[in-house]
């Protein structure tokens, strides 16, 4: 009977131990992923499953005609959240006229 109780106690302890280890592993993985994504536009990690945007494939809207194009194909003015994008030299001229 005592053996049986000790067996249950040990398995409970083992379970708690495994859960703790698993929690640490998960936290380490999440930390690694979030630090890898940090280079993107600044956003809190509360978002969770946001796909990591890369500079070449992020679509930007031309402020003049509304066309969406990859950021690398556009002319950019300004920096950070105040940047504006033009799809072509024509649109750039229109915006300045
Ligand atoms: Zn345009």
Q: What does the domain layout of the chain look like in residue ranges?
A: 2-39, 59-96
pLDDT tens readout for residues 10-63: 899 999 988 998 998 898 888 888 877 776 565 555 666 766 655 567 899 999
Q: What pLDDT was estimated at residue 44?
A: 56
User: Whole-angstrom Cα distance, residue 93 to residue 86?
Assistant: 9
Q: How much is the pLDDT for 52?
A: 64
How far is it, in rounded angstroms, from Cα 62 to Cα 91? 8
Q: How far is the CA of 86 from the centre of ligand 1 (A)?
A: 5
What is the C-alpha separation between 81 and 60, in angstroms, rounded?
A: 12
**Ligand 1 centre distance from Cα of residue 52 (Å):** 25
Could you give the CA distance from residue 60 to residue 85 in angstroms, rounded to a whole number? 7
Q: Please enumerate in sequence order all residues whose Cβ is within 8 A of that of 89, keeping only pairs 6 or more positions apart, or say none.
A: 75
Is residue 85 within 8 A of residue 71, CB to CB? The reply is yes
Q: How confident is the model at residue 70 (pLDDT cuts 50, 70, 90)?
A: very high
CA of 33 to the centre of ligand 1 (A): 36
């Amino acid at each position: 009977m005592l053996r049986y109780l000790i067996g249950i106690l040990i398995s409970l302890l083992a379970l708690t131990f495994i859960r703790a280890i698993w929690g640490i592993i998960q936290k380490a993985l999440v930390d690694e992923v979030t630090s890898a994504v940090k280079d993107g536009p600044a956003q809190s990690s509360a978002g969770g499953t946001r796909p990591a945007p890369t500079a070449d494939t992020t679509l930007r809207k031309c402020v003049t005609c509304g066309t969406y194009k990859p950021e690398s194909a556009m002319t950019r003015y300004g920096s950070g959240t105040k940047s504006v994008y033009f799809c072509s030299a024509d649109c750039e001229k229109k915006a300045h006229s």
